[in-house]
């Protein structure tokens, strides 16, 4: 079985409050994009050991938490018999970049194993299960434009408002630790109606919609703030940092040429189709 776990961007992100369980309640819009990893698994029917799992990696593997797929399997095995598997993950989505690559890998694997081996879990059950793997995982079970609240486990479907726009990602190779980022941001126990603002015309988002982590990350890494300015100078109708950083993205009406100054960055340009 070959899977293509895709990345996401955040459109707006606010930390509402810190929860008693150590997580934070957030408010954001998550939007699936085409950049993806490649995840392949096969059942080893002649394995001498029950439920023997092996995972290998290639590509952009300079990241921590490489066991997130194993974490998904271990969680699934608490209630279901997972057969022996040989898994290989080709990483294209940079880690620590606010694009949700690891969460997507785990969610896609969880979803696929459920279907392949007929475990019978519903989408709601998969979402409830996946939140124990990572806060972004429930989104990738659904994998549709969503208004996301709670600790990432409450999702409302949204229309595909960016279909037909071009997306440019610029990742300067500066990983931002998610836990540290959350510990440094000051929760704002209020909503600014992101659920309604996201339905405004895209070229008006820049006046109302903001990622709360930008102030924190921009102070520590001024180069990231400069990238956002550059995206607007290039003609983006909206530009933002995704997640807790440090990828910046720009939304454009037409295809753009990536400036040579960004040749040392991870870059990705695509026409959004959903």
216-260 confidence digits (pLDDT tens): 999 999 999 999 999 999 999 999 999 988 899 999 999 999 999
CB atoms within 10 A of CB 270: 14
pLDDT in tens, 168-216: 999 999 988 777 778 777 787 666 789 999 999 999 999 999 999 999 9
Count of residues in the chain? 274
> Cα–Cα distance between 149 and 225 in angstroms, integer?
26
> Cα–Cα distance between 82 and 89 in angstroms, integer?
18
The domain limits of the chain are 2-157, 166-271
Return the pLDDT at 222. Answer: 95
pTM for this one? 0.92
Q: How confident is the model at residue 48 (pLDDT cuts 50, 70, 90)?
A: low
Q: How confident is the model at residue 139 (pLDDT cuts 50, 70, 90)?
A: very high
Contact 185, 174 (CB under 8 A): no
> Cα–Cα distance between 194 and 256 in angstroms, integer?
28
Return the pLDDT at 65. Answer: 46
Residue 35, both tokens: 């950049």
Whole-number average pLDDT of the chain: 91
Q: Say which residues have a Cβ less than 8 Å from residue 271's Cβ, sequence separation at least 6.
A: 164, 165, 166, 167, 255
Pick the CATH number of 2-157 from 3.40.50.2000, 3.30.230.10, 1.10.443.10, 3.40.225.10: 3.30.230.10
CA torsion 11→75→94→14, rounded to 10°? 20
Q: Which among 213, 245, 206, 208 is positioned nearest to 229, based on CA atoms? A: 206
CB atoms within 10 A of CB 47: 15
Query: Cα 266 to chain center, whole Å?
Result: 16
pLDDT average, residue stretch 63-83: 83
**Catalytic residue positions?**
8, 136
HSE of 272 in the Cβ direction (CA atoms, 13 Å)?
25
Q: Could you tell me what percent of the chain has a pLDDT over 70? A: 95
Going by DSSP bridges, is the β-strand pair 85-91/53-59 parallel, antiparallel, or unpaired? parallel
- Residues 166-271, CATH architecture: 2-Layer Sandwich (3.30)
Q: Which among 169, 157, 130, 146 is positioned nearest to 12, based on CA atoms? A: 146
């Amino acid at each position: 079985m070959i899977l293509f776990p895709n990345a996401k961007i955040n459109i707006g992100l606010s930390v509402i409050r810190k929860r008693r369980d150590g997580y934070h309640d957030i408010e954001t819009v998550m939007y699936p994009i085409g950049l993806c990893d490649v995840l392949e698994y096969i059942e080893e029917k002649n394995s001498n050991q029950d439920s023997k799992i092996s995972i290998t990696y290639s590509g952009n593997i300079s990241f921590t938490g490489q066991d997130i797929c194993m974490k998904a399997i271990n969680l699934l095995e608490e209630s279901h018999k997972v057969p022996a598997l040989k898994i290989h993950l080709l990483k294209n989505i940079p880690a620590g970049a606010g694009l949700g690559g690891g969460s997507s890998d785990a969610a896609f694997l969880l979803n696929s194993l459920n279907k392949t081996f007929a475990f019978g879990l519903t989408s709601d059950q998969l979402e409830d299960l996946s939140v124990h793997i990572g806060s972004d995982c429930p989104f990738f079970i659904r994998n549709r434009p969503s208004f996301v609240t709670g600790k990432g486990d409450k999702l409302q479907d949204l229309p595909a408002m960016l279909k037909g726009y071009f997306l440019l990602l610029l990742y300067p190779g500066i990983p931002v630790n998610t836990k540290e980022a959350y510990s440094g941001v000051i929760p704002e126990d209020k909503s600014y109606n992101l659920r309604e603002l996201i339905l405004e015309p895209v070229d008006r988002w820049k006046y109302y919609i903001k990622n709360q982590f930008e102030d924190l990350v921009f102070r520590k890494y001024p180069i990231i703030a400069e990238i956002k300015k550059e995206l607007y100078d290039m003609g983006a109708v909206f530009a933002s940092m995704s997640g807790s950083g440090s990828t910046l993205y720009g939304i454009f009406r037409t295809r753009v040429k990536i400036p040579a100054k960004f040749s040392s960055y991870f870059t990705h340009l695509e026409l959004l189709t959903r």
